[in-house]
Amino acid sequence: MFDARDAFAAPAAPAPTLREDYRAPDWLVPDIALGFDLDPARTVVRARLSVTRNGEHDRPLRLEGEELELLSLTVDGERREPVLEDGRLVVALGGAEAVVETEVAICPEKNSQLMGLYASGGILCTQCEAEGFRRITYFPDRPDVLSRYRVRLTADKARYPVLLANGNPVEQGEAGEGRHFAVWEDPFPKPCYLFAVVAGDLACNADRFRTMSGREVALGIWVREADLPKTALAMQALKDSMAWDERTYGREYDLDRFNIVAVSDFNFGAMENKGLNIFNTRYVLADPETATDADIDAVAAVVAHEYFHNWSGNRVTCRDWFQLSLKEGLTVFRDQSFSEDMGSPAVQRIDQVRTLRAAQFPEDAGPLAHPIRPDSYLEIANFYTATVYNKGAEVIRMMRTLLGPERYRKGTDLYFQRHDGQAVTCEDFVKAMEDASGVDLSQFRLWYSQAGTPTVRARLDQSGGRTALHLDQSVPPTPGQPAKQPMVVPLKVALIGAASGREISPERLVVLREERQVEPFANVTEPAFLSINRQFSAPVIVVAERKAGEIEALAESDTDAFARYEAGQELMQRDLLAAIGGGELRTEAVVTAVAATLRSNALDPAFKADAIALPGESLLIEKLDAADPARVHTVREAMRRAIGVGLKDDLSRAYMGTSRADPSSLSGEAKGLRRLRGATLGLLAAADAGLGRTLAARQYASARTMTERQAALMVLAMLGGEEAEAALADFYGRYESDPLVIDKWFAVQASVPAEETLDRVEVLGRHPAFTLANPNRLRALAGSFAGTPAAFHRADGRGYDWQAEIIVAADKLNPQTAARFVAPLGRWRKIEPGRAAKMRAALERILREPGLSKDVLELAGKSLG
Ligand code: PHE
Ligand code: ZN
């Protein structure tokens, strides 16, 4: 029956953008001149666009705009009455080219979305990717419109002594009434998402880099004066990255200046604006006293990532936002390779795979699954995902594995040369790889179009005196993709002698292409164990049929460090899942394996720390149907306790041994020792709360690095009691003036795996230092809480309610960041029915909220399914 209310009551559902609808732009903008009269309360932006008609058509010029107050419009110097259609400025033009000038006013200090021009701690800065430039001026805001920019900034000289923009400075001077100006020009045509300006009272860590062709580049890291001492590590990482990209990819920097600015309010990690990267402070400011080793490594990785974008993203950019993985997958792979080269490759790889399994596998297995090149979106900001970034990097890595390093390098050379200055597609990248290598990648392209993590089942058949590896693959159905085709899965495989523990068949690349495939191993007659997906050569789930004692043996002697780690994890997971499923918890095999790891003289401490850590609760939940998170926690804790009790002496000895880590050193050895210190302390505390408190309190008090102090604080917080309260109070007092450390104070408390954590989280949500307006603080509280299953999944569902309330409240200020907290509620399919119903109810409550952003609407809608 027709109900008239349906037709009128609800606002029209926003229509998705489809990849297949791509059309080249009607008008190009080869040149743009911008003038900013900067003021936090009201900034006036004048834009002069030189536009040219693209192809034969009679369509008008359409310019996107959002929250702009239009003051005037002229075409070729003549005033025009503006025509606005759904927020777009529609300009009818007669000839093949025109000069279109607009004047708009915007209000940076009221910009809580942190997109466009906004204020952060007295600094004025911009964020334009993906679609923020339209919040600065009317423009064809799409990445395939490339322009040369000339930018004039005018501002109060006392408040904003430093004025920065992309490219090179060309002019500066006084502007009267206490104001001054600066003019910047960027010679490289760029899409508007790479535009940036910054104005503020900033101090500079200045340095230089000499490029491979002998040009001098002036480097600057701009921060508040007091933060200057914390920029040395980022500067070193920048210089290392510049040299690495020359060495590894033959890519040289192209401007005379490279600037990095740090701001406290930022939606993501950092942004690769041409010649003027803007960073979240947490990825710039670091020293061993206030940042953990992991934080410090992340600073180097993000500095490298943004720098590498200068070629993979800026010189060669994306045609449209569906191609996002073209720049992000490639750039993540590049920053991962950089980190591997600067540190320990195996330990780096373990970290990368942990991240992939924690963030991407669940995404690929749930309602938000999408291919690395998505086919549709409501809000593009929702597609800056672990799939596009991290699975995208795995896809590039697989191409390198299939082609080999030399042909891969030929491929990237061809790609950069062929497409320099262009906005291109993922297909263009694959084509360059094919053309340069002669390798056919037709079937491989499925990695761009099919979502879902493939499962590969493996069985080593040694019957009848011959050895053969039987493989089969399946790709699960995902939203909109019920049936899948077999993928190309490059698997590095070796066989380890069951008796000798040595490689009896050296590592080789087995490329699985069929649904089922058999790979013979000639001349292998003795019983062998299967070492498969070494170095994690393919982002798949391997389910191998194991002989008795096989995983145990591989965990002790696999010749590939990554595979050895994997075997240990497989072992732990096997026994944990059996017990979670209702069986008795068997701990002997795991305890024996951990003992062997701790006692080994051959393993380095960082590897040991990774190898003795149990799979996380979220990961275990992903492996189950109808998981009871409380039971997962109980069983995992019991296993930790068993290790702690069974190996108290080994753990104590290892723990004591780590105190020799030099607090002033960031060597792999020192960092590894500190990592092992944290891991052993955790297990000792799991076994004996009294001992744990004593050791942790002592470690907290005598800590000379944040790595040690934070690890101790976490253990104390988990154990609770007076010691915990005293340490938390001390920590707050000690670091009150350092927002990045106070984020840790929130995060530690929200990460305690217990039902009572919510009570504390609720109180922290009303703490004077808490604010929904700062994404780092919000992540520290709400992100940490939702990432702690034993706290988030309280049986009464109040954890979900709190999360839903936070999302709704944050959405009113900052939709992009609010939307990032929706996914944990969407995991209800993995959770037992009682809690699952409560998770759905929380999603429904979010969806009933009037005035919801597209960002949250899209993710909450899909999550409900
Ligand atoms: N392009 C940025 C990066 O990968 C991420 C980003 C996206 C930052 C959107 C801000 C806004 O490093
Ligand atoms: Zn990036």
Per residue in 634-672, pLDDT tens?
A: 999 999 999 999 999 999 999 999 999 999 999 999 999
Q: Output the CA 386–ligand 2 centroid distance in Å.
A: 12
Distance, in Å, from the CA atom of 598 to the CA atom of 652, rounded to the nearest integer, reads 11
Nearest Cα neighbor of 542 from 526, 557, 563 is: 563
Q: Where do runs of H (alpha helix) occur along 283-360? A: 293-308, 324-342, 345-355
**Calculated CA dihedral for residues 839, 841, 844, 848, nearest 10 degrees:** -130
Is 8 a residue whose pLDDT tops 60?
Answer: no
Beta-strand pair 17-18/276-280: unpaired
Instruction: Extract the tokens encoding 579.
Output: 């017990």
E strands within 501-642?
Answer: 503-512, 516-521, 528-532, 541-544
Q: Are 518 and 478 in contact (CB under 8 A)?
A: no
Sign (positive/negative) of CA torsion 800, 801, 806, 811?
A: positive
ipTM: 0.98
Q: Name all domains of the chain by residue range, CATH numbers in brackets.
A: 17-231+251-280 (2.60.40.1730), 319-449 (1.10.390.10), 455-538 (2.60.40.1840), 547-687 (1.25.50.10), 736-865 (1.25.50.10)
Question: CB of 129 closer than 6 A to ligand 1?
Answer: yes
* pLDDT over 70, % of the chain: 99
Catalytic residue among 306, 617, 723, 755, which? Answer: 306
Nearest-CA residue for ligand 1 atom 1 is 271
Rounded distance, CA 852 to CA 812, Å? 8
Place of tokens 């990237």: 412
Q: What is the pTM of this model?
A: 0.98
Q: Which protein residue has the closest C-alpha to ligand 1 atom 3?
A: 271
Gap between the Cα atoms of 684 and 644, Å rounded: 5
The pLDDT assigned to 9 comes to 44
**Which token pair is 162?**
């430093």
Quick one: CA dihedral 474, 826, 787, 581, positive or negative?
negative
Best CA proximity match to 202, nearest among 270, 279, 292: 279
Residues in the chain: 865
**Residue 31 DSSP SS3:** strand
- Please check the confidence at residue 832 and state whether its pLDDT lies above 80: yes
Q: What is the pLDDT of residue 189?
A: 98
Q: How far apart are the first and last CA of the chain?
A: 25
Is the pLDDT confidence value at 1 over 90? Answer: no
The whole-angstrom separation of Cα 237 and Cα 233 is 6
In 86-237 the beta strands, taken as DSSP E runs, fall at 88-91, 97-106, 116-120, 123-127, 146-156, 162-165, 168-176, 179-191, 197-200, 203-210, 216-223
Dihedral, 665, 668, 670, 674 alpha carbons, nearest 10:
130
**Which residue's C-alpha comes closest to atom 2 of ligand 1?**
271
User: In the annotation, is 515 catalytic?
Assistant: no
Q: What residue's CA is closest to ligand 1, atom 11?
A: 129
Indicate the top mutation candidate among 133, 266, 272, 323 to test ligand 1's pocket, ranked by most ligand atoms within 8 A of CB. 272
- Nearest-CA residue for ligand 1 atom 9 is 129
Q: Is 620 exposed, middle or buried (0-12, 13-18, 19+ CB in 10 A)?
A: buried
Mutation test residue for ligand 1: of 129, 283, 332, the one with most atoms within 8 Å of CB: 129
**Token code pair at residue 614:** 């149990």
| Residue 14: band (very low, low, confident or very high) from pLDDT cuts 50, 70, 90 | confident
Q: Is 439 left (phi over 0), alpha (psi -120 to 50) or beta?
A: beta
For residue 601, what pLDDT is reported? 95
Residues 6+ apart with CB under 8 A from 99: 48, 49, 50, 51, 75, 76, 77
125, 193, 268, 383, best to mutate for ligand 1 pocket (most atoms within 8 Å of CB) = 268
pLDDT tens per residue, range 367-416: 999 999 999 999 999 999 999 999 999 999 999 999 999 999 999 999 99
Q: Which of 169, 172, 197, 199 is nearest to 185 (CA)?
A: 169
Average pLDDT over residues 22-46: 99
For residue 858 and ligand 1, the question of a CB distance below 6 A is answered with: no
**Nearest ligand 1 atom to alpha carbon 302:** 12
Instruction: Report, in this order, helix, strand and coil percent for the chain, each rounded to 5.
Output: 45, 25, 30
pLDDT tens digits for 549-583?
Answer: 999 999 999 999 999 999 999 999 999 999 999 99
**Using a 6 Å cutoff on CB, does residue 127 contact ligand 1?**
yes
